[in-house]
Amino acid sequence: MADIGVVGLGTMGAALALNIAENGFSVAVHNRTSAKIQDLLDRAGSLASRLVAAETPEDLIAALTPPRMVILMVPAGAAVDQVVATLVPLLDPGDTIVDGGNADFNDTRRRGADLAEKGLHFVGMGVSGGEEGARHGPSIMVGGPADSYARLQPVVEAIAARYEGVPCAAWLGPDGAGHFVKTVHNGIEYADMQLIAEIWGLLRDGAGHGPAQAAEVFAGWRDGPLESYLIDVAVAVLSATDTATGRPAVEVIRDSAGQKGTGRWTVIEALKLGQSASAIEAAVAARAWSSMIAARGAGARRFGAPGGGGAPDPADLADALLAARIVAYGQGFGLLAAASDHFDWSLDLPRIAEIWRAGCIIRSVLLNDIATAARDGLPEGLLILAPAFADRLEATVPALRRVVAAAVAQGLPVPAMTAALAYFDTMRQDRGTADLIQAQRDFFGAHGFDRIDGRPDRHGPWAQEGGAGRLGQD
């Protein structure tokens, strides 16, 4: 009998199944097309003895030791509902279905409530780290009933990445908490990737650097405060050569970025919660703009290509990237805090930062300081006001300002850096400009406003003068 089942043997599912088997558990594996089952067995090597091939859902359930645990590694959305509908009649009360895909946390909450009525457990498990992480140690974010995690915990902690010996995995809260945290992780990932791409654009289109020269710039940042997996990836990509043409690999890639939805979900949920994660929003928008290749070509022909005015000093670029990265991470953690309050999840923000330190895509040296700052308490709930980060921003924002100004002067787009700078400047402005917005809303819609002197008057003097009706009159 197998300890756990895995349904869906695509890239991530197959890698996760092998990881589980390598850590001493027997795994029943099933896929809609049986060819993938055989393919997994063929490449499992010595681990094949711990894999049980299940040609049908009935075979899968029969192979599992009760109470059963089944991990789904299928595409988010309708496919999950279809597999769940197939499995539910075969399961007994107390059995657990674990969704290990990039699911919308709203779907996870719905599925959890539906299955609870049938006496079944449903767990949403975010898995970060790509194929390599799934195979050798991902960061794992779990949400669902706490008692459901008790049986899953030994498997999760065995297969997770480790940071200084501690598993980068945790139960984070009920229902959709795990998938929500994974979604925000991916939103931060969008922002981080976009910021790095904007630096590449400044080096390429501003200073005329080729990929190899730009790789040297990024490589110089590997051992400082920008140390991170994504910086390592940038160096590797910019240093690579296309085997078919002999050209730098990045130069033969169509510049139209794909997305699977998690960045967009992050933005949607931020807006629902009244939290504008602007750096993430800018990154999502930039991916959408990137797909408009024909339109961008027409724009280049009509208005001329930007750039050519040189790039800022690499030290300024490094400081600008650090400042913008702090803002992006801070916005992500602010969204996590808002969701925790709204859904009564009691998310452990320091622990989330800790489980992101290894295995996941956004792992970086910055997360150690974020964990410490969150544990000490964030002033007004803002990472940028935590003493260590406030000091860093004070030192690096001037460079961010110079870099954004230089990019704007050349017409080079840096939407995520611009959004990060605008957020920072807004949060340091004691009195902004929303007073005029409130006045206008009251003028045309009688929405009212709060006064700074505490008086009860809720409307401006224009209300007595007829408001909008007086416009255009003598």
Q: Are residues 166 and 188 in the same domain?
A: no
CA 90/CA 114 separation, integer angstroms = 16
Stated as kind and residue range, the H or E segment containing 6 is strand 4-7
| Helix pair 314-343, 366-376: axis angle to 10 deg | 40
What confidence category does residue 467 fall into, taking pLDDT thresholds of 50, 70 and 90? low
Whether residues 157 and 190 fall in one domain: no
Query: Is residue 383 one of the residues assigned to a domain?
Result: yes
CA–CA separation, 60 vs 42, rounded Å?
19
Choosing from 388, 410, 427, the residue where a domain stops is 427
What band does 217 get if pLDDT is binned at 50, 70 and 90? very high
Q: Say if 276 falls within a structural domain.
A: yes
The verdict on whether omega for the bond into residue 67 sits within 30 degrees of 0, i.e. cis, is: yes
Same domain, 260 and 163: no
pLDDT class of 471 with cuts at 50, 70, 90: low
Pairing of strands 162-163, 166-167: antiparallel
Going by pLDDT thresholds of 50, 70 and 90, the confidence category of residue 59 is: very high
Total structural domains in the chain?
2
Kindly state whether residues 295 and 395 are assigned to the same domain.
yes
State the average pLDDT over residues 302-317: 87
pLDDT band, residue 474 (cuts 50/70/90): very low
> Which residues carry out catalysis?
182, 189
Q: What is the CATH number of the domain that holds 350?
A: 1.10.1040.10
- Domain assignment present for residue 445? The answer is no
Judge if 299 and 171 occupy the same domain.
no
The mean per-residue pLDDT over the stretch 292-296 comes to 94
**Averaged pLDDT for residues 282-294:** 95
Average confidence score pLDDT of the chain:
94
Instruction: Kindly provide the residue ranges of all beta strands, DSSP E only, lying in 74-194, ordered along the sequence.
Output: 96-99, 121-128, 139-143, 162-163, 166-167, 169-173
Same domain, 131 and 212: no
Q: State residue 284's pLDDT score.
A: 96
- Co-location of 80 and 219 in the same domain: no
* Residues of the chain above pLDDT 90, percent: 90
Residues 362 and 382 in one domain: yes
Per-residue pLDDT, 306: 84
Name the least confident of 140-144, 223-227, 310-314.
310-314
pLDDT at 469: 47
The dihedral region occupied by 69, where left means phi > 0, alpha psi between -120 and 50, and beta the remainder, is: beta
DSSP conformation class of 249: G
The pair of structure tokens assigned to 410 is 């050349």
- Give a yes or no: residue 190 inside a domain: yes
Residue 96, domain member (yes or no): yes
At which of 391, 409, 427 does a domain end? Answer: 427
Phi-psi region of 344 (alpha: psi -120 to 50; beta: other; left: phi over 0): left
47 part of a folded domain: yes
What's the confidence (pLDDT) of residue 465? 61
Helices (H), 143-261: 146-159, 177-201, 211-219, 229-239
Give the residue from 27, 97, 98, 95 showing the smallest Cα distance to 66. Answer: 95
- Residue 221 belongs to a domain: yes
242 contact partners, CB below 8 Å, separation of at least 6 = 248, 249, 251, 252
What pLDDT does residue 421 have?
98
CA distance 178 to 339: 12
Task: Kindly report, residue by residue over 376-407, the tens digit of the pLDDT.
Answer: 999 999 999 999 999 999 999 999 999 999 99
Residue 473 has pLDDT above 80, yes or no: no
**């009251």: which residue's tokens?**
442
Give Rg (Cα) of the chain. 25
Please indicate, yes or no, if residue 187 is contained in any of the structural domains.
Answer: yes
Same domain for 271 and 414, yes or no, is: yes
Do residues 228 and 361 share a domain? yes
Predicted pLDDT at 307: 77
Cβ neighbour number for residue 239 with a 10 Å cutoff: 17
Task: Locate 324 and state its tokens.
Answer: 């913008």
Q: Are 113 and 135 within one domain? A: yes
Spatial neighbors of 304 by CB under 8 A, at least 6 apart, are none
- Judge whether residue 250 has pLDDT over 80: yes
Q: What is the per-residue pLDDT for 363?
A: 95
Half-sphere exposure in the Cβ direction for 56 (13 Å, CA): 4
Same domain? 85 vs 149: yes
Percent of all residues in the chain with a pLDDT value above 70, rounded to a whole number: 98
The residue out of 145, 175, 205 marking a domain boundary is: 175
Mean pLDDT of 199-207: 95
The amino acid at 291: S
For the chain, give the longest Cα–Cα distance: 90
CB 332 within 8 A of CB 378: no
Given a cut of 90, whether residue 181 has pLDDT beyond it is: yes
Spatial separation of the C-alpha atoms in residues 442 and 462, rounded to whole Å: 9
Domain span holding position 151: 4-175
Residue 472 has pLDDT above 70, yes or no: no
pLDDT digits (tens, 9 = 90+) for 415-434: 999 999 999 999 999 999 99
Alpha-carbon gap, residue 364 to 357, rounded angstroms: 6
pLDDT of 182 reads 96
Whole-number Å distance between alpha carbons of 382 and 242: 44
In this prediction, residue 457 has a pLDDT band, given cuts at 50, 70 and 90, of confident
pLDDT tens profile 73-131: 999 999 999 999 999 999 999 999 999 999 999 999 999 999 999 999 999 999 999 99
Mean pLDDT of 235-242: 98
DSSP symbol at 114: H
Q: Helix 34-43 to helix 11-22 angle, to the nearest 10 degrees?
A: 40
